[in-house]
Structure 1
Amino acid sequence: MKVGKLDSYELQKIIDNNRGIKREDVRIRGGIGEDCSVIEFGDFECVVSTDPITGAEKGLGKLAVHINCNDIASAGVEPLGILVTIMAPESSTLIDIKNVMEEISEECKKLNLEILGGHTEVTSAVNRMIVSCTVLGKGRKNSSVSTADAKPGDDIIITKKLGMEGTFIAVSHKEDELINILTEEEIKEARGYIESISVVDEGRICGRAGVNSMHDITEGGVLGALWEVSKASNCGFKICYDFMPISEVTRKVCKKFNIDPLRFISSGSMLVTCKDGNKLVDLLKKNNIESVIIGNITEDKNIIIKDGKEEEVDPPDSDELFKIMK
């Protein structure tokens, strides 16, 4: 099998046929494109999501916290607690595990997040450290935003820059191959992307603004995220390549490793759909968050305009990151 996420069609079959029972107090269920489940608790609801970090070693704890909190943020609520599982290879030391936990704790302090529990073990089942987290968020009843509510006519907005997570990982692991491609300032910029990896602020702002749909852009890049939104919402999209917010540093990294920046892991960017994109872009700007409209939600078909031509977008495959991490 290919490294990375399972094929979306095959994964859908597995999910649909293995859900246990359906409870009435579960308002939103996880699925393709729907990273969070929402459980009703009287006047409030609990938002839950889980994800591992498998494609990075440096910044492991920081990434593990933020990619999971970003899922909760995409529901428009604030994360409040996290459960942490660490699976360490036999080559690990106690210091290695301690450093990862200290990094996790430091990021949780920044996000006002409590570590609720978890599990840690050394095992021969892995050849590098794996961190998997589950995050819980809390919101008022019926306040959570669903990935599946994008509507034809919605503007599609992207926050910050695409490919930041992938670029940070590439520079962290392949600096020797990039030293002649990037300047010292560009390497410093790429390393700094990890400080912009959270989308909790824009998630909170967009949730209060009443957007129709949100999805954080992770494995599979912006095209993978768009595919998942369209699949969950039973609609399509039409976007323009020239509108994509990609830094020059990311472009250079992608060119070096023959990577498609639109399929490059992009934690730190949020995909949002709403009726008045310009109004939302202005609101985000007032809160010092850059964003741009890249297209619209349509009735059907997934289209990207590139070099003046319309192309259909294929379903997501393995993230381009794995070209680097082989």
Structure 2
Amino acid sequence: MITGKLNWDVLAKLLKNNQGALRPEVERGGSVGEDCAVVNLSGTKLVLSTDPVTAAANHTGRIAYHINLNDIATTGAKPLGILVTVLAPPQGEISDIETVMAEISEEAKVHGVMILGGHTEVTDAVNRMVVSITALGVMDPGEKVLWTAGAEEGNGLLVTKALALEGTAILAQDFPERCREVLTEKELDEAKAFARELSVLPEGRLMRSFATAMHDITEGGILGALWEMKTASGLGFEIEAAKLPLRPVTRKLCAHFQLDPLRLISSGSMLMAVKDPEKALAELTAAGIEAHLIGRMVKEGGVLLEEGRRILVDPPARDEIYKLYDVEEGSASILPEKKEKPCE
């Protein structure tokens, strides 16, 4: 098997065939494109999500915290607590685990989130630290849960902040010397600081009454997130390349490492389908949150408009970031695969 997420077809089959016992309290469980499950407990809704961090060697705790709380944010729920599992390799140090937990605790205090428990273990089953978090959020009985499947034809598609923030931060933190080949020290520090912008909790709570669907942009980048929204909703998307927000240092690093920024892990940016893009943009701007209208939901297909061309977009096989770790381990080339093909 290759590194990265399982492809959509395999994942859908696994989920369909392995649900365990069905429970009446569960409003909806996980599925392709949906990162959260919702359990109704006498009116109060408990929202749950879980994810590990496997593609970062630095600031693993901070990244693990945000990718899980961001899943909670996509539903419009308020974060409550987290369970943390840390698997550390034998060659590591206790200080490594202390650093991870301190990062998680620091971020949790900011958002009023409690660390409820978890598991910590040193094991030769991993060769670098793996951190997995399960996040819990709550919603009041009258609040509506937003699902990725809720996107509607004609909805405008917004993204917040900039794309590939997480991927850029990982490149700067894990490969600083190679980054210095194209970045100044100031630019390198800027790229590392993107790790401080990974939360989408503010826009998640703000947009819960404006959006029909929200999805945090993680593995597979913006194109992966769009495909997950497309799959969940049964619709299609059409986006404009010129409107996709990428910061200059991200463009520099992706060109240098030969990575596609549109398929690069992008925690820190929320994808939102909204009925009234102008009103949603005004609300986000008033709250000091950068946002961009990049396209719309359509009846079917996935199209990227670029310099007068209509390019059909295929689902990404895996995130671009893994190509670098394959190279470091001597098992693959970093030359990116070209997945798009022109429309017929």
TM-score interval, smaller chain: over 0.9
Relative contact order, CA 8 A, sep 6+: which one is greater?
Answer: 1
Matched with 2:78 is: 78
Distance in 1 between residues matched to 2:282 and 2:188, nearest whole Å:
31
Matched with 2:169 is: 168
Please state how far the C-alpha of 1:115 moved relative to its aligned partner.
Answer: 0.3
Please state how far the C-alpha of 1:269 moved relative to its aligned partner.
Answer: 0.1
Code of the residue aligned with 1:105 in structure 2: it is: S
Code of the residue aligned with 2:135 in structure 1: it is: V
- Are the aligned partners of 2:163 and 2:266 in contact in 1 as well (CA < 8 Å)? yes
Distance in 1 between residues matched to 2:177 and 2:316, nearest whole Å:
30
Q: Deviations over 1:139-184 (max 9, x none)?
A: 0235221111000010000000000000000011111112120122
User: Could you state the TM-score of these two structures normalised by the residue count of structure 1?
Assistant: 0.98
Code of the residue aligned with 1:98 in structure 2: it is: E
Q: Deviations over 1:257-279 (max 9, x none)?
A: 11111100000000000111111
SS at match of 1:324: helix
The answer to whether structure 1 residue 238 and structure 2 residue 205 are counterparts is no
- Are the aligned partners of 1:218 and 1:267 in contact in 2 as well (CA < 8 Å)? yes
Distance in 1 between residues matched to 2:181 and 2:54, nearest whole Å:
28
Structure 1 residue runs of 5 or longer lacking an equivalent are none
Q: Deviations over 1:79-123 (max 9, x none)?
A: 110000000000112121112111111111111100000000000
Matched with 1:134 is: 134
Distance in 2 between residues matched to 1:298 and 1:229, nearest whole Å:
12
- Are the aligned partners of 1:8 and 1:316 in contact in 2 as well (CA < 8 Å)? no
SS at match of 1:191: helix
Please state how far the C-alpha of 1:77 moved relative to its aligned partner.
Answer: 1.1
The answer to whether structure 1 residue 186 and structure 2 residue 187 are counterparts is yes
Please state how far the C-alpha of 1:21 moved relative to its aligned partner.
Answer: 2.5
Code of the residue aligned with 1:192 in structure 2: it is: A
Code of the residue aligned with 2:10 in structure 1: it is: E
SS at match of 1:124: coil
Distance in 1 between residues matched to 2:154 and 2:44, nearest whole Å:
31
Code of the residue aligned with 2:176 in structure 1: it is: E
Q: Deviations over 1:176-207 (max 9, x none)?
A: 11212012221111011011100000000011
Code of the residue aligned with 2:174 in structure 1: it is: H
Structure 2 residue runs of 5 or longer lacking an equivalent are 327-344
Q: Deviations over 1:1-53 (max 9, x none)?
A: 11100111111111111111222221122111100001111221000000000
- Are the aligned partners of 1:85 and 1:119 in contact in 2 as well (CA < 8 Å)? yes
Instruction: Give every structure 1 segment of 4 or more consecutive aligned residues whose post-TM-superposition deviation is greater than 4 Å.
Output: none
- Are the aligned partners of 1:257 and 1:323 in contact in 2 as well (CA < 8 Å)? no
The answer to whether structure 1 residue 247 and structure 2 residue 247 are counterparts is yes
Distance in 1 between residues matched to 2:29 and 2:107, nearest whole Å:
28
SS at match of 1:118: strand
Distance in 2 between residues matched to 1:50 and 1:94, nearest whole Å:
24
Q: Deviations over 1:206-246 (max 9, x none)?
A: 11x23100000000000000000010011100111111000
Distance in 1 between residues matched to 2:277 and 2:21, nearest whole Å:
39
SS at match of 1:204: helix
Matched with 1:88 is: 88
Matched with 1:267 is: 267
Q: CA RMSD in A?
A: 0.9
The answer to whether structure 1 residue 290 and structure 2 residue 290 are counterparts is yes
Matched with 2:197 is: 196
The within-5 A match list for 1:1-326 is 1-141=1-141, 142-207=143-208, 209-326=209-326
Distance in 1 between residues matched to 2:262 and 2:217, nearest whole Å:
10
Distance in 1 between residues matched to 2:35 and 2:181, nearest whole Å:
39
SS at match of 1:325: helix
SS at match of 1:81: strand
- Are the aligned partners of 1:164 and 1:267 in contact in 2 as well (CA < 8 Å)? yes
Distance in 1 between residues matched to 2:307 and 2:259, nearest whole Å:
18
Distance in 2 between residues matched to 1:50 and 1:254, nearest whole Å:
28
Distance in 2 between residues matched to 1:111 and 1:98, nearest whole Å:
20
Please state how far the C-alpha of 1:325 moved relative to its aligned partner.
Answer: 2.0
The count of aligned residue pairs is 325
- Are the aligned partners of 1:156 and 1:297 in contact in 2 as well (CA < 8 Å)? yes
- Are the aligned partners of 2:210 and 2:280 in contact in 1 as well (CA < 8 Å)? no
Distance in 1 between residues matched to 2:193 and 2:4, nearest whole Å:
25
The sequence identity of aligned pairs, in percent, is: 45
